[in-house]
Structure 1
Amino acid sequence: MEKIIDEKTQGNTLTLEPKTGNYRKLYIESYGCAMNFSDSEIVASILADQGYNTTNLLEDADLVLVNTCSIRDKAEQTVRKRLEKYNAVKRINPKMKVGVLGCMAERLKEKFLEEEKIVDLVVGPDAYKDIPNLLKEVEEGRDAVNVILSKEETYGDVQPVRLGGNGITAFVSITRGCDNMCTFCVVPFTRGRERSRDPQSILREIADLSERGYKEITLLGQNVDSYLWYGGGLKKDFKNASEMQRATATDFAKLLDMAASAFPKMRIRFSTSNPQDMHEEVLHVMAKHENICNHIHLPVQSGSTRILKEMNRQHTREEYIKLVDRIWEIIPGCSISQDMIVGFPTETEEDHKETLSLMEYVKYDFGYMYKYSERPGTMAARKMEDDVPEETKARRLTEIVDLQQKHSAYRTAEFLGKTVTVLIEKESKKNENEWSGRTEHNNVAVFPKENYKPGDFVKVKVTNCTTATLIGVAIGFSQSN
């Protein structure tokens, strides 16, 4: 579960300003992690040049695309229900074309096109530039599919159209694919081997966002810490690089330092990190730059070294704890969040207790916790029996969630009476007279609006808190403005 799935954003319909002269209408829905939502922006940019403007009315669409996720069975079932809805509309409007993008397209290509015949085109995560050609195939009456995984494609030359965002925060993809063959994860099979974007294309994208008034970016990848640019190609082939390529290679610490130095007014986050690949130099870069947020999402998945080995995680419990200690030595007060899977095959009660005790040690600020669900095609599905009873998984998940709630309350309470810097993102959902934004530690904070506006960095004194939210009053602008 390296990919964080924000349940509040699932199925969002993404729209942008219409482009003059475009008459065809695109309806695009996204499911899954931030990577999928970022990919939808790339697709919209490609199709804007093909005469498509976005719409949030399904019935108006000439082309309907759903960007899919295969990380959990729930996500796949949701997409199947949406495809049924699309096809009901298609019976009324037979000219409408329906396509599936992303990870589920990669995994279920034959089913969609040949067995179930519910879509017109199927496009894998590395084939978005081929969509115009695939649409021509569809218009000529043929099913169209391209799910070939690329060794090179990073979309570094496509300037994403920012869809449905707040104009303040944006994702910037820096890697695609993953080389970590965790036995529970389908990502390497749906997104291919790991490759990195040219750092100059990344810096150009950040510069464009800065010029357009964005205040915060998140450098995004399945595993940002293994970012490595040596002129292009797969990460695994770096061993064959020339001496010059090795000498001039850019790793994640260098990229982070370049971005923070070039754009000191831009607040920078990154996600997701992998414990085995996080080098200490990254921590020193974070400590060096005030505009890099003091928050690390550090998935652990289990507190049991035995289970970590079964998952093919390349770290032990002890190594993870050592890394956490080092983070706090170099960046005192840095917030750490987690991903956790309960009920992985062969997990015993003792393994579960190891997870609970690791949580007690770290006291994570927040986390994403799931019951294990077998994903077809993964090593665990092929070689391990899903042998933990469902009721046991449910009980263990409840215990982990309850403990995380306790730790989240503990962590937010640490800010009582302190002053934090908040980037205003939007109006509070619960109170139209309050702004909502995030701190550098990734806490949500709310406070009375007064004369501030979205995009402002504001100093906020924390007067109260819940398990997830800091509540306070503004005491002035931050120097970050």
Structure 2
Amino acid sequence: MPDIFVKKIDESVQGTAIAPDLSDEKSYSKKFYIESYGCAMNFSDSEIVASILKDEGYGATMEMKEADLLLINTCSIREKAEQTVRNRLTAFRHEKNKRPGMLIGVLGCMAERLKAKLLEEEKLVDMVIGPDAYRALPSLIQEASGGQKAVNVLLSRDETYADIAPVRLDNNGVCAFVSIMRGCNNMCTFCVVPFTRGRERSRDADSIVAECRELFEAGYRDITLLGQNVDSYHYTPSESLDQSQAVTFAALLERVALIDPRLRVRFSTSHPKDITDDVLFTMAKYENICNCIHLPVQSGNTRILQMMNRTYTREWYLSKFNRIREIIPDCDITTDIISGFCTETEEDHQDTLSLMEYCRFPLAYMYSYSERPGTLAARRYEDDVTDEVKKRRLEEIIVAHRRHSQEDHQQCVGKEYKVLIEGVSKRSDLSWNGRNSQNKMVVFPKENYPLQKGDYCTVRIISATSATLIGEIVRL
């Protein structure tokens, strides 16, 4: 039972409030409230924080005004995300003014970069905790309770939280995230992650497999392995110097898939330069490894890609795209795209649009470039594309993507898919919703079949919207 409430607000997807299961809520003398912004890694981190706080005797509340401790898990990837967090902190501060004993803490990616401003200049928070310092939360809370400003933003070379069992915050009891690594070694010039999350380190493979097995035994049927760049996962037991004992991502993927054929396995995110044929052949070998790969391209122009330090060309990306389709023909490939990066010309922008026409991504996260202080791009390049041009180019990218997505969904009509039931449809208690292997959402009538959450069934698609496939059960 998750003794926590987290409001997850994903800057890539629509914000979702996730309420706790209060069926056996305990009585706690202290309460906490937490909001999580940004990517799935942040959401996973909130589950680790929840576990640490639970062990310290903190119960959950869905009401900010009831909390003794207000936490916000932050994202620095875009300026908009940071501004949203500042607005929320201001609301937190208003609540604290009514209850002076309340503590406010900032977690995650904004912590290191803005610690001085948040603590001293703007006086919005009492604690600042970096993504590698969550174990220090109890001592930091004690320090802040004594009237001191509590800070720990030190990055670690080995922290993976492998021994902490996360408190699962997704109430559907079917889907879960499992973090397999932390940090990033790729120095993409637009990205702040290497500076906020530190260097890459891979988690003990045995602990990952054990966590996935425990989730399956607890009824979970869909697990997403998380990392900034999962394809560079590489774990060697500390007692072994023999590289033949190393576990690669392909080997880890296979070990998790072998837990049980009823357990679906997903992963995110991949880097075009690192995803290997070994990973692709492993995916093709096991039916329960889902046929969906998130492969961010960022730009369709080689010169811009080089300025971004993506370490591949347009041609390299397209060859990798084709290789995936060759080995896994029904694999959905999704992406990220940035418009208006430094020096981007109209011709460069057209290269991105033409690459989109070739790849026809069914799902894309699309942004205009937002200069982040401290990044290599901020130090090296002038942010010289006007906001007006960025906005117009982004709109053209969005329009192209909508067309591709709608056409992709229409092509699914008449096909049959194995769907994992995740819960009751939001629009009708008479329908189920779930996803197929390609990560597409499918809604279909319950009818009189003896099904429940976590079950599989085969669904024929009879119609489609731009976001959802509508189907009917054809067999169990």
Assess same fold via TM > 0.5: yes
- 2: CA distance between counterparts of 1:152 and 1:264? 32
CA distance in 2, matches of 1:263, 1:188: 35
Identity of aligned residues (%): 56
Once the two structures are superposed, the pairs formed by residues 36-115 of structure 1 within 5 Å of their partners are 36-115=42-121
- Aligned pairs for 1:319-338 (under 5 A) are 319-338=316-335
3-state DSSP of counterpart to 2:14: helix
Residue 138 of structure 2: which of 132, 139, 147 is its match? 132
| Cα offset, 1:7, TM superposition | 3.2
Q: Is the 8 A contact 1:220 1:272 kept in 2?
A: yes
Output the aligned Cα RMSD. Answer: 1.5
- CA distance in 1 between counterparts of 2:348 and 2:139 reads 51
Say which SS state the counterpart of residue 430 (structure 1) adopts.
coil
Amino acid in the other structure paired with 1:324: F
Secondary structure of the 1:254 match is helix
1:463 corresponds to 2:469: no
In the superposition, relative to structure 1, how do residues 243 and 152 fare at CA in structure 2: closer, same or farther (>3 Å)?
Answer: closer
Structure 1 unmatched runs, 5+: 233-240
Alignment partner of 1:295 is 2:301: no
Report the AA paired with residue 140 of structure 1. Answer: G
Question: One-letter code of the match for 1:226?
Answer: S
> Which residue pairs with 1:192 in the alignment?
198
Report if the CA contact (8 A) 1:13-1:30 is conserved. no
- In the alignment, what sits opposite 1:472? 471
- Runs of 4+ in structure 1 displaced over 4 angstroms? 16-19
447-456 or 265-274, larger mean C-alpha shift = 447-456
TM-score where L is the length of structure 2 = 0.95
Query: What amino acid sits opposite 2:73 in the alignment?
Result: N
1:343 to 340, 347, 355: 340
Number of positions where the alignment pairs a residue of Structure 1 with one of Structure 2: 464
User: In structure 1, what is the equivalent of residue 387 of structure 2?
Assistant: 390
Q: Secondary structure at the match of 2:89?
A: helix
Question: 3-state DSSP class of the match of 1:453?
Answer: coil
How far has the Cα of 1:15 moved from its partner? Answer: 3.5
Whether the 8 Å CA contact 2:12–2:365 is kept in 1: the answer is no
Structure 1 residues 146-295: aligned runs within 5 Å = 146-231=152-237, 243-244=241-242, 246-295=243-292
The SS at the match of 1:108 is helix
Please, which moves more after superposition, 15-24 or 351-360?
Answer: 15-24
Question: 1:154 touches 1:175 (CA, 8 Å); kept in 2?
Answer: yes
CA distance in 2 between counterparts of 1:295 and 1:267 reads 12
Using the alignment, how far apart are the partners of 1:19 and 1:161 within structure 2? 14
Change (3 A) 1:427 1:283: same
Decide which of 23, 27, 31 is 2:33's aligned counterpart: 27
Determine the C-alpha separation between the residues in 2 that align with 1:289 and 1:60: 48
> Offset at 1:383?
1.5
SS at match of 2:413: coil
CA distance in 2, matches of 1:165, 1:192: 31
Q: Which secondary structure state, in structure 1, belongs to the residue aligned with residue 371 of structure 2? A: coil
Deviation by residue 1:397-428 (Cα, 9 ceiling, x = unmatched): 11111111111122112211111111111222
- Aligned mates of 1:411, 1:309 — CA distance in 2: 30
Contact map agreement 2:176 2:224 (CA 8 A) in 1? yes
Q: Secondary structure at the match of 1:112?
A: helix
Q: 2:414 & 2:322 partners in 1: Cα distance? A: 26
Letter in structure 2 aligned against 1:144: A
Deviation at 1:339, TM superposition (A): 0.2
Partner Cα distance (2:293, 2:255) in 1:
19
Letter of the 2:218 counterpart:
R
- Letter of the 1:433 counterpart: L
Q: Is the 8 A contact 1:68 1:100 kept in 2?
A: yes
Unaligned runs of 5+ in 2: 1-9
Cα separation, partners in 2 of 1:27 and 1:14, compared to 1, 3 Å: farther
Contact kept in structure 1, 2:18 and 2:171, CA below 8 Å: no
Go from structure 1 to structure 2 and tell me whether the alpha carbon gap of 1:137 and 1:14 turns closer, same or farther (over 3 Å shift).
farther
Residue pair 2:20, 2:171 contacting (<8 A) in 1 also: no
CA change 1:464–1:182 in 2 (3 A) is same
**Are 2:454 and 1:448 aligned?**
no
